[in-house]
């Protein structure tokens, strides 16, 4: 049986079409009684989105991955970029590094680390080092960075995160993850050794040695610390080999995101990161300027997710209205295909990501018209796109850009 991705590739034609994927992070929501049985998309006043829908759109809902599964931002965006999140898994260390704005190179192995407290016998007494202040973490990471540049021929890059969290990157030849965690998972136990998950892999063995050597150098440096005299390392993995976006879709892609994590995820698939814009209006303005230089624009809007995580219905609604107010800037150069969706739902009632299929809107000269009046979850339920896996959105965008040849006679 022919592989579906291979078929898509075979059918793909190069065109001059412009495609825009506008991601309202976590936009999907659920209607509950306390919010008048409305979702933020339903409650928001969105005259510009409404006008777009009136011009003719196809709508539907997308499963980020599979029924019931709640994705993190990594799998959520990989799916939107057309990569099956089950096939292309990105280690927690890599995601964390991307989230801190670190540039990863091919072959880098990244680990997420936690400072922890060890007793005189070396047993973990607090897996989070009493949640030390971020400033303390930054100070300790600076100290480690100053004293440890390399272990053997492997470069070490350390960057502080929030509270007790930091990231360590191992850069050098012949490294590979994944390794097992050094976290004993509960207090009262000693740190574990990071071990190759594939015991035969020379590259994993070399990486495990680098991690062990890093511990040897780092522990004496932390020895005098009252709380953060040790650390755990988890999600020790290399940046996965992902086919480049441009090769896969014949689309030269640019990323217009504000937050590092999303820039990092775009970079992972080979999109060009465009730096500078800080607001959605600025992102749209920059899109106008870059319009001729790229075929595909991934534009990321964070605040729908942020206020969903806060459970702040009014603020999430307002964020949608702000997005809507800026939309006419984007539409000054209307792309051939515009998709508007989320990477997942972040319902205010849940205060976190969820499994509910996110609504999606697709507008092109060939999208058809579902004759809905607005872009909402309830409307999208009866859209022509039905409920489908998010990884197919890019294929629908390509189809709407007339980028696919006919299959068979």
Identity of the residue, 93 or 196, whose beta carbon is nearer to a copy of itself in the bound complex: 93
Smallest distance from the beta carbon of 148 to a copy of itself, in angstroms?
25
Smallest distance from the beta carbon of 383 to a copy of itself, in angstroms?
6
Site for a copy of itself in 179-218 (CB under 8 A): none
Contact 338, 14 (CB under 8 A): no
Site for a copy of itself in 82-111 (CB under 8 A): 84-87, 89-90, 92, 95-96, 99
Out of 26, 71, 172, 335, name the contact with a copy of itself by CB under 8 A.
71
Smallest distance from the beta carbon of 74 to a copy of itself, in angstroms?
5
For residues 273 and 262, what is the distance between their CA atoms, to the nearest angstrom?
Answer: 10
Cis bond upstream, residue 338 (ω within 30): no
Site for a copy of itself in 11-50 (CB under 8 A): 11, 30-33, 37
Phi, psi of 28 (to 5 degrees): -60, 145
Out of 25, 49, 53, 61, name the contact with a copy of itself by CB under 8 A.
61
Q: Which residue pairs from 81-84 have beta carbons closer than 8 angstroms and sit at least 24 positions apart in sequence? A: 81/245, 81/265, 81/266, 81/269, 81/298, 81/394, 82/248, 82/249, 82/391, 82/392, 82/393, 82/394, 82/395, 83/242, 83/243, 83/269, 83/391, 84/391
Identity of the residue, 229 or 367, whose beta carbon is nearer to a copy of itself in the bound complex: 367
Identity of the residue, 51 or 365, whose beta carbon is nearer to a copy of itself in the bound complex: 365
Binding mask 335-374 for a copy of itself (x = CB under 8 A): ------------x-xx-xxxxxx-------xxxxxxx---
For residues 185 and 205, what is the distance between their CA atoms, to the nearest angstrom?
Answer: 23
Which of 7, 60, 93, 38 has its CA nearest to residue 339?
60
Question: 209: phi > 0 → left, psi -120 to 50 → alpha, else beta; which?
Answer: alpha
Smallest distance from the beta carbon of 394 to a copy of itself, in angstroms?
9
Q: Which stretch in 146-154, 324-332, 333-341, 400-408 sits in contact with a copy of itself by CB under 8 A?
A: 400-408
Identity of the residue, 234 or 286, whose beta carbon is nearer to a copy of itself in the bound complex: 234
Identity of the residue, 279 or 382, whose beta carbon is nearer to a copy of itself in the bound complex: 382
Smallest distance from the beta carbon of 310 to a copy of itself, in angstroms?
17
Identity of the residue, 102 or 280, whose beta carbon is nearer to a copy of itself in the bound complex: 102
For residues 194 and 304, what is the distance between their CA atoms, to the nearest angstrom?
Answer: 38
177 binds a copy of itself (CB under 8 A): no
Q: Which stretch in 60-68, 160-168, 196-204, 244-252 sits in contact with a copy of itself by CB under 8 A?
A: 60-68
Identity of the residue, 37 or 278, whose beta carbon is nearer to a copy of itself in the bound complex: 37
Spatial neighbors of 334 by CB under 8 A, at least 6 apart, are none
**Side-chain half-sphere of 63: how many Cα atoms within 13 Å?**
11
Identity of the residue, 291 or 388, whose beta carbon is nearer to a copy of itself in the bound complex: 388
């Amino acid at each position: 049986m022919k592989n579906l991705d291979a078929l898509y590739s075979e059918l793909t034609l190069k065109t001059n079409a412009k495609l825009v994927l506008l991601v309202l992070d976590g936009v999907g929501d659920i209607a509950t009684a306390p919010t008048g049985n409305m979702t933020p998309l339903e409650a928001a006043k969105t005259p510009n989105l409404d006008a777009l829908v009136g011009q003719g759109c196809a709508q539907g809902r997308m499963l980020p991955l599979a029924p019931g599964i709640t994705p993190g931002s990594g799998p959520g965006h990989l799916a939107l970029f057309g990569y099956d999140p089950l096939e292309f898994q990105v280690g927690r260390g890599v995601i964390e590094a991307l989230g801190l704005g670190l540039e990863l190179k091919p072959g880098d192995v990244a680990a997420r680390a936690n400072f922890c407290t060890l007793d005189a016998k070396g047993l973990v007494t607090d897996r989070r080092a009493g949640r030390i202040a971020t400033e303390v973490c930054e100070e300790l990471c600076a100290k480690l960075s100053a004293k440890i540049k390399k272990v053997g021929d492997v470069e070490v890059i350390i960057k502080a995160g929030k509270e007790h969290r930091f990231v360590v990157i191992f850069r050098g030849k012949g490294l590979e993850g994944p390794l097992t965690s050094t976290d004993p998972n509960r207090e009262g136990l000693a740190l574990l050794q990071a071990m190759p998950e594939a015991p035969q892999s020379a590259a994993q063995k070399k990486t495990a040695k680098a991690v062990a050597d890093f511990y040897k150098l780092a522990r004496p440096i932390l020895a005098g610390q009252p709380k953060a005299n040790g650390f755990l390392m988890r999600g020790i993995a290399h940046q996965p080999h992902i086919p480049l976006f441009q090769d896969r879709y014949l689309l030269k892609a640019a990323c217009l995101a504000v937050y590092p994590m999303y820039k990092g995820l775009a970079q992972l698939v080979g999109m060009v990161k465009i730096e500078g814009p800080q607001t959605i209006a600025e992102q749209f303005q920059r899109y106008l300027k870059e319009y001729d230089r790229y075929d595909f624009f991934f534009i990321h809007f964070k605040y729908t997710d942020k206020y969903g995580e806060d459970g702040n219905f009014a603020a999430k609604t307002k964020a949608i209205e702000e997005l809507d107010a800026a939309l006419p800037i984007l539409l000054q150069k209307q792309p051939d295909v515009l998709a508007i969706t989320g990477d997942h739902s972040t319902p205010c009632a849940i205060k976190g990501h969820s499994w509910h299929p996110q609504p999606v809107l697709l507008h092109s000269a060939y999208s058809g018209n579902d004759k809905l009046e607005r872009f909402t979850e309830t409307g999208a339920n009866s859209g022509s796109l039905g409920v489908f896996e998010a990884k197919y959105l890019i294929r629908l965008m390509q189809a709407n850009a007339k980028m696919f040849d006919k299959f068979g006679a």
